[in-house]
A and B are shown apart, each in its own frame.
Chain A
Amino acid sequence: MINGKCPPGPLEEKWEKHKDGLMLVNPANKRRYRIIVVGAGLAGASAASTLGELGYNVEAFCFQDSPRRGHSIAAQGGINAAKNYPNDGDSIFRLFYDTIKGGDFRSREANVYRLASISNNIIDQCVAQGVPFARDYAGYLDNRSFGGAQVSRTFYARGQTGQQLLIGAYSALSRQIKSGTVRFFPRTEMLDLVVVDGSAKGIIYRDLVSGKIASRAADAVCLCTGGYANVYFLSTNAMGSNVTAAFRAYKRGALFANPCYTQIHPTCVPVTGDHQSKLTLMSESLRNDGRVWVPVVKGDERLPRDISEDERDYFLERRYPGFGNLTPRDIASRAAKDACDKGYGVGPGGRGVFLDFAEAIGRLGEAEVRRRYGNLFDMYQKITGEDAYERPMRIYPAPHYTMGGLWVDYNLESNIKGLFVLGEANFSDHGANRLGASALMQGLADGYFIIPYTIADHLARIKPGVVSTDHEAFVGSVKETNERVEKLLSINGKRSVTDYHRDLGAIMWDLVGMERSEDGLNEAIKKIRALRNEFWDNVKITGEPDELNQELEKAGRVADFLEFGELMALDALERKESCGGHFRSEYQTVDGEALRDDSNYAHVSAWEYKGTDKRPFLHSEPLEFENVDLVMRSYK
């Protein structure tokens, strides 16, 4: 059994007391410790800048050409905090409760409470950095509502909240780069973790411009490398988002927790054809004012405006009157898929439902709707050529976020000492389903306010700089990484990397997607194995190893997805219950809602790698609930 090391004591006091007990590093000694931060999304940029400011010697990496471009930049809707500025009954406890309930009671109380309590500091920090959040006419900060909550606690900057928060963190990072505390390595990709005597001591990376494989040693490594929704090929994630860094750490002994917990977002622009390379999210904030419906008659092909009110089924409002269009994502997605599976879908292939703003435009006026969501409407128009002020949007669910990730304890440290995991890359705070506007909150909580305390406790116990890149673990890993690159390039088969990725995505979407079953999961495992074998036999990658080679980059990522997909299916198979985003068709209530099994599955599943083609070992961390009752989630 593994232990999350949550501190004892009353919920509200855990973090404060725990912080007081953590060791500190003497200011004069800090610069002697080197910390590697991989990733420059919100989690990585906030961690690197804060650690640099504290005086550590930080080296930070990302595969984009600049730390201003991390995938976090695409977040649209907003970031939660329990400020209770609107005086509508919010509190830290309520944010905690909504988050733990939204996650279907599959996360740690202590972590989630800490997240809620830090949320307010994040808003203060971002405002001080110059993040231009929306304001009301008196100059106070404005809030909107998001799914799974009955209060308005979401702070936003037009439809570009992630961009503005990331620019804030990037500016803090830029300041540290200038002052010399952070050395930044753009266009680099971490390809392995180096572990010496059970502790993380550095990374192997490829310089994506020269193609050279190199290594850096450090006293601690922070992985802030984001989520793995691209295992589905089509997702709302950026094209480069991948599982490689986390998966390489897993292969070096780090536990991977709850890999089957994935989030399918209800409001994305539907697929148009085989050429499709990614899916675009239409922010959940749209569900504040947009109403979701399908025609009551199957296959109704009339223009939406010709379909009268009583010929429409506002199915979320009908099925979930308490939350209406603002039910959590997993529920809204399944309801949309259900409507389409039954033949009520609209648009090409019947894979879509309407998201209608006519009522909001009538109530608020077009100008106000434009102010709130203008950039989203523009984006929709660019993609579909349709004007959503005139006719409803068409939306369909798409893979979006992954709650699973590397296992970490309360200190955000994995079972490998000195390996810390932040942001979407860890598994810690969202249970089996994440509520909207809480990923940005978590990434920044981890980076600005948690890691600076907890990493000190690790560093204070070790001597700095004892391992260098001459160590055999580094030399061996560089050699292995080079060999893998050579192997990939030598196959010279017939099918492209993207072909394999698309095939994998289809398997994952059909069998390990929104609804899973025992038979389907077994079939998925078989198919993934066959596809993986074929990949290593028949993939075709052109170009050279020692140059900028984007196909080679993709190939490495897809190769890891081809192994990781199997782990997801295995985890989904082992979890014989439905919870949050993990819906097993065998386990549902009579009206089709997720049926949890708290007596057998109120735990974190954490997988340990046991070697190529060997079954990984399943550890479990029991989840204890002292402050909330495990009720059946109801949004009716």
Chain B
Amino acid sequence: MDLSLFVWRQQAPDVQGEMVAYSAKGISEDMSFLEMLDVVNEGLISNGEVPIAFDHDCREGICGTCSQVINGVPHGPMERTTVCQLHMRNFKDGDTIFIEPLRAKAFPILKDLIVDRGALDRIIQEGGYISVHTGGVPDANSVLISRKDAETAMDASECIGCGACVAACPNGSAMLFTASKVSHLAALPQGKIEADQRVRSMTNAMKKEQFGNCSNHYECNAVCPKGVKISFIAKLNREFIKSMISGDSSD
């Protein structure tokens, strides 16, 4: 099939970018979306032009590196599918496709479709862990965890940190991302001890990093390639209130 593409090109962070038209010819339906871009890039290189820069690594939907907005939707039209797992059989000959970077105040553009998502790492650094030392821990079966709790933790922990939720949110909020980590750890007995502290400092970090507030649009869940549930946001809010009631709020 043949496609018309409009792709965001921006040479560097402080240079003005623009949408540029390209055509993608002879695309097979077995190609992934990124393989289609590979074809376009090979063409650009052979013309002596600079290829379109985009982030990707595993191409299996698990590393969270790929991040593009396709026709206005982060990761494109298929539910629960990262761009790297989106296949061209979901498009038709003659389609026009708009490809842009994830846009959010907290994610500065580095080049073309590549953004800096370091702010998400900094939220995790503020408490997205259990403070355990290496070694000196009890036998793994000494603390039993119900299958239900383990599954809840796992549901939350499926987040791949791609940032699609932020780009989809009209407020640029990182609420679903943060809530998934808070909920993952709060579901486990090992994680409960630091729960109050964690939810407070991670919520603060979110504000500091210029992410917006959550006003319940639920766009985040709609685009999440892992289907991380919106109910985790409610869980974060409950954890937050609990921490205000129960704890010292000195920090």
Contacts and interface: CB of A to CB of B under 8 A. Distances in A.
A276 B59 CA distance: 11
Contacts of A209: 110
B161 interface: yes
A73 B147 contact: no
Contacts, number: 215
Interface centre among B39, B135, B146, B191 (most CB of A within 10 A): B135
Interface string B58-72: 111111110000000
A448 B133 CA distance: 10
B42 A137 contact: no
Interface string A535-558: 000001111000110110000000
Given A50-B134, A172-B129, A383-B87, A128 B190 contact: yes
Contacts of B120: 66
B111 A158 contact: no
A275 B60 contact: no
Given A171-B124, A277-B59, A498-B38, A136 B45 contact: no
A19 to B, nearest CB: 12
B56 interface: yes
A132 interface: yes
A177 B38 contact: no
A463 interface: no
A354 interface: no
Interface string A137-157: 111110000000000000001
B11 interface: yes
B87 A74 contact: no
Contacts of A378: 80
A133 interface: yes
B145 A542 contact: no
Given A124-B140, A157-B154, A178-B125, A64 B87 contact: no
B97 interface: no
B184 to A, nearest CB: 7
B132 A164 contact: no
Nearest to B155: A132
B146 A135 contact: yes
Interface residues of A, number: 81
A135 B63 CA distance: 25
Contacts of A73: 58, 62-63
Given A136-B147, A385-B87, A551 B62 contact: no
A123 interface: yes
Contact of B132 (A129, A134, A140, A550): A129
Interface centre among B30, B48, B56, B140 (most CB of A within 10 A): B140
A164 B151 CA distance: 13
Contacts of B140: 83, 123-124, 126-127, 133, 141
Nearest to B187: A132
A107 interface: no
A135 B150 CA distance: 7
A186 interface: yes
Contacts of A67: 121
A452 interface: yes
Interface in A154-173: 157-158, 160, 162-164, 167, 170-172
A379 interface: yes
A63 to B, nearest CB: 9
A272 B32 CA distance: 11
B135 A121 contact: yes
A182 to B, nearest CB: 10
B139 interface: yes
A68 B30 contact: no
A123 B141 CA distance: 10
Contacts of A64: 57, 63, 65
Interface in B151-167: 151, 153-154, 157-158, 160-161
A362 interface: no
A281 B58 CA distance: 11
Interface in B93-120: 110-111, 114, 116-118, 120
B57 A71 contact: yes
Interface in A406-457: 448-449, 452
B51 A280 contact: no
A140 B134 CA distance: 22
A422 to B, nearest CB: 14
A496 interface: yes
B51 A171 contact: no
Contact of B46 (A74, A123, A540): A540
B30 A160 contact: no
A278 interface: yes
Contacts of A391: none
16 contacts: A66-B161, A69-B64, A69-B65, A73-B62, A127-B137, A128-B130, A132-B153, A137-B147, A139-B147, A141-B141, A174-B129, A239-B56, A239-B59, A448-B135, A449-B134, A542-B51
Instruction: Pick the 9 closest A-B CB pairs, nearest first.
Output: A139-B144, A171-B129, A128-B137, A132-B153, A272-B30, A132-B154, A127-B140, A178-B125, A69-B63
Given A83-B141, A123-B140, A494-B46, 20 more contacts: A68-B64, A71-B57, A71-B63, A125-B132, A128-B130, A129-B130, A130-B190, A132-B151, A132-B188, A133-B150, A135-B146, A172-B129, A239-B57, A272-B28, A275-B28, A277-B34, A382-B86, A452-B134, A498-B42, A542-B44
Interface of A: 46, 49-50, 53, 64-69, 71, 73-74, 83, 85, 121, 123-130, 132-141, 157-158, 160, 162-164, 167, 170-172, 174-175, 177-178, 186, 209, 238-240, 272-273, 275-278, 280-281, 378-379, 382-383, 385, 448-449, 452, 494, 496, 498-499, 540-543, 547-548, 550-551
Interface of B: 11-12, 28, 30-32, 34-35, 38-39, 42, 44-46, 48-51, 53, 55-65, 78, 80-81, 85-87, 89, 110-111, 114, 116-118, 120-121, 124-126, 128-135, 137-141, 143-147, 150-151, 153-154, 157-158, 160-161, 184-185, 187-188, 190-191
